[in-house]
Structure 1
Amino acid sequence: MLMDRTDLSAVQRPINTAHGLPNAHYTDPHIYDEERAALLMSDWSGLAVASDVPEPGDAQPLTFLGIPLLLIRDTSGAVRVFHNICRHRGMILVDAPRKIEGAIRCPYHSWCYSTSGRLVSTPHVGGPGQNTADGIDRALLGLIEVRSHIWMDVVWINLDGDAPAFEIANADLLARWAEFDKPLYHGGADSRFQLTVQCNWKLAVENYCESYHLPWVHPGLNSYSRLEDHYHIEAPGAFSGQGTVVYRQLTGEDGTTFPDFEGLAPKWDTAAEYITAYPNVLLGVHRDHTFAIILVPQGPSETVENIHLYYSRPDTDAHLRARNTEQWKLVFEEDIFVVEGMQRGRHTPAFDGGRFSPAMDGPTHLFHDWVAGRMARHRAKPHAAE
């Protein structure tokens, strides 16, 4: 039987008459599951960062959309993502971050896999002392790899395997920020933090896309990078966000700043940009540092935000890095009451999705339109009618 489907026709109207997504897209477990397939599994979603596994053999178990995955840097140095299960009986292979010494060994029956995913050992599979058996073809029973790509140190994954190549799907964004396609150095332990917010993941995207809220939610930031200093970034069907023509570098007590990335155009002397790469990665670039925020949905009404900061060199000043992290943490924490307040507001049937300011909400409306379009495409597939 068909589940009750939301009417998204008003979402895809021109911005001056459009409504936002219906409440169910923020509160209903069935719609969450539908979006899970239509938006997050069918596109290039952010999973983690390559810096989570800096050395060959480093392995990090992760759960994304309820799916157990394994992030690993193999012995050749390549970062890979596998389903974190043994091909024998589906046992979880790695249950805590660790260094893989030798092979990945299943703790159940000791089937062993190389860090590149090959099944290399099946002890006693044919009986005591018999390590081979008819029907157990090791060449066909390696770990199940998830399609992945690394850009801006983010590990992007396409779980259903059907998305266009990353370079094609994100061609416009890669071209826009080609100047930042160079080595990025994660600041380390003092340059990563996590926030857990009681809201649907899409509300975090919607808030990040626009600068309209700056004067009231971020008064400190707005004191020097004012609302009128910002501009919209709009790429229908791919990404949206905001930029500012006023970026003020963080300066130490002795006048030091972070070293700039080399080869940037003069506009970056004073500019910065903040873009959501649909569906779930929030990115920021500046002359002297970048950041990535990976939104990990935990259900319809909770989201984990994993934040990572990067620099142009590995030897930046630790005190200045810590100050930069604290400054950004304050900014992102200022948004929590807003996204959580909107989540609570989605529980009243009186709310009809809201409206958009034609002048100020263009980037957010584009995201709503993208969601509606992807949902329509998903619902048109034969399986959706079963």
Structure 2
Amino acid sequence: MAKDISPAALDAVRRPIETANGLPNAHYIDPDVFEVEKEAVLLSSWAGLAVASDVPEIGDAKPMAFLGIPLLLVRDRSNTVRVFQNICRHRGMILVSEPRKIEGAIRCPYHSWCYGTDGRLVTTPHVGGPGFNTHEAIVKEDLGLIEVRSHIWFDTVFVNIDGKAAPFDKVHADLIARWADFDQPMYHGGADSRFTLPVKTNWKLAVENYCESYHLPWVHPGLNSYSRLEDHYNITERGKYSGQGTRAYSQLRGDDGATFPDFPAIDAKFIAGGEYITVYPNVLLGVQRDQTFVIILEPKGHAATDEHVHLYYATPDTDAALRGKNCALWRGVFEEDVFVVEGMQKGRHAPGFDGGRFSPAMDGPTHCFHDWVAGKIGAHLAAR
């Protein structure tokens, strides 16, 4: 066992914040530790894969990968978004190689086995020999696409790859209740309201940076000019989620003074402010009176992450110019964080760095995340 994932090292992370260390270097720079983390943290939890708006219409299909696993996001004929392994049950061929509309069936390009958008195996041409499309050994009911356990909340498609996690709505009941005001239609802004930032950092550093407001005065001076450090508060739900909130949210205005429509019937605290929470392990969410956002962190390895950003509004017909201005604003804010998370990633190559210390007043949300990761890894190793 690597020294950095020994029980003693993990226990040091899980101490009270006043004396705790952060996760050691190996959790960011060692490919072997990343392999352990994949099983212990990412495959065993409800991880974010995509947004349901990636497949907006019936029959839409989008091939994806999560930690190298080929997956297929599909909106089936009953308008249900589902996730399947993107492989044919015959010889494991990739079924769909680029986003497209499934007009009839999902056809394997190798031997033309065909599947419904609900995953059923429907045809097996010549499987019993030329002209014979059935065989007693091939039971179609047993050979449908392998479905991945999934749950949609906040338009986010969460997947539990190992299939062993408690139900999503049980795991995250507290957060669902906290944000019940936003349990209403929200509309993806479309092509001008999504972007991806490739970042040379471990995915956890993106979470850690997002969780806290401590860095605002120095990294986000523009944002801090109207949402000051002293306007923020910590959100710490140990073992579930963490983040920050602000009591000073300023609506974006167009050149004509127009704003986005508000979400109806939301609590006064969301009229004046906003909240920004990480749903462990890899989904970053934000809510404000007139817009929300979803960021899916896609780990591309131990030192690379793609940040997929999606912006949402209370109505489907928001002004295009204002959407474009809003997207540029948020992109600018998130790009300001890139040098920080990439700098911390480089810093993790310094021998002797013990994971650092936490500000008891300012780093509570980040320590909650470290504690959760260390707990997941410790439980995984203990079960081996």
Which band: TM-score by shorter chain?
Answer: over 0.9
* Cα deviation digits, residues 140-197 of structure 1 (max 9, x gap): 0000000111111000110011111110010000000000011110000000000000
Aligned residue type for 1:343? Q
Who is 2:128 aligned against? 126
Aligned residue type for 1:29? P
Who is 1:359 aligned against? 361
Aligned residue type for 2:125? P
Task: Look up the SS of the partner of 1:110 in the other structure.
Answer: coil
Task: Look up the SS of the partner of 2:301 in the other structure.
Answer: coil
Q: Distance in 2 between matches of 1:3 and 1:344?
A: 21
Task: Look up the SS of the partner of 1:298 in the other structure.
Answer: strand
Who is 1:327 aligned against? 329
Who is 2:11 aligned against? 9
Q: Distance in 2 between matches of 1:341 and 1:28?
A: 17
Match of 2:100 among 89, 93, 98: 98
Who is 1:257 aligned against? 259
- Percentage identity across aligned positions? 69
Q: Distance in 2 between matches of 1:67 and 1:188?
A: 27
Write out aligned runs for 1:362-373 (5 A): 362-373=364-375
Aligned residue type for 2:298? V
Who is 2:190 aligned against? 188
Q: Distance in 2 between matches of 1:244 and 1:20?
A: 25
Q: Distance in 2 between matches of 1:267 and 1:364?
A: 23
Aligned residue type for 2:266? L
Who is 1:289 aligned against? 291
Q: Distance in 1 between matches of 2:137 and 2:375?
A: 44
Who is 1:199 aligned against? 201
1:19 aligns with 2:18: no
Task: Look up the SS of the partner of 1:173 in the other structure.
Answer: helix
Task: Look up the SS of the partner of 1:328 in the other structure.
Answer: helix
Q: Distance in 1 between matches of 2:194 and 2:322?
A: 14
Q: Distance in 1 between matches of 2:375 and 2:43?
A: 15
* Cα deviation digits, residues 291-348 of structure 1 (max 9, x gap): 0000000000000000000000000011001111100000000000000000000011
Write out aligned runs for 1:111-260 (5 A): 111-260=113-262
Aligned residue type for 1:306? H
Who is 2:308 aligned against? 306
Q: Distance in 1 between matches of 2:363 and 2:243?
A: 10
1:39 aligns with 2:56: no
Q: Distance in 2 between matches of 1:269 and 1:60?
A: 36
Q: Distance in 1 between matches of 2:142 and 2:19?
A: 54
CA deviation after TM superposition for structure 1 residue 11, in Å: 0.2
* Cα deviation digits, residues 101-150 of structure 1 (max 9, x gap): 10000000000000000000001111111111122100000000001111
Aligned residue type for 1:181? D
Match of 2:91 among 80, 89, 92: 89
Match of 1:60 among 34, 37, 62: 62
Task: Look up the SS of the partner of 1:17 in the other structure.
Answer: coil
Paired residues in the alignment total 381
CA deviation after TM superposition for structure 1 residue 76, in Å: 1.1
* Cα deviation digits, residues 24-73 of structure 1 (max 9, x gap): 00011111011111111111000000000000110000011110000000
* Cα deviation digits, residues 235-283 of structure 1 (max 9, x gap): 0000000000000000111111000001101222211000000000000
Structure 1 stretches of at least 4 aligned residues deviating more than 2 Å after TM superposition: 2-7
Who is 2:278 aligned against? 276
Aligned residue type for 1:214? L
Q: Distance in 2 between matches of 1:198 and 1:115?
A: 36
Q: Distance in 2 between matches of 1:80 and 1:344?
A: 38
* Cα deviation digits, residues 203-232 of structure 1 (max 9, x gap): 000000000000000000001110000000
TM-score by length of 1: 0.98
CA deviation after TM superposition for structure 1 residue 350, in Å: 2.2
Aligned residue type for 1:75? R
Aligned residue type for 1:131? N
RMSD of equivalent CA atoms: 0.8
Task: Give unmatched runs, 5+ long, in structure 2.
Answer: none
Task: Look up the SS of the partner of 1:274 in the other structure.
Answer: strand
Select between 361-370 and 260-269 the one with higher mean Cα deviation. Answer: 260-269
Task: Look up the SS of the partner of 1:123 in the other structure.
Answer: coil
Aligned residue type for 1:219? P
CA deviation after TM superposition for structure 1 residue 3, in Å: 5.7
Q: Distance in 1 between matches of 2:269 and 2:363?
A: 24
1:315 aligns with 2:311: no
Q: Distance in 2 between matches of 1:97 and 1:264?
A: 36
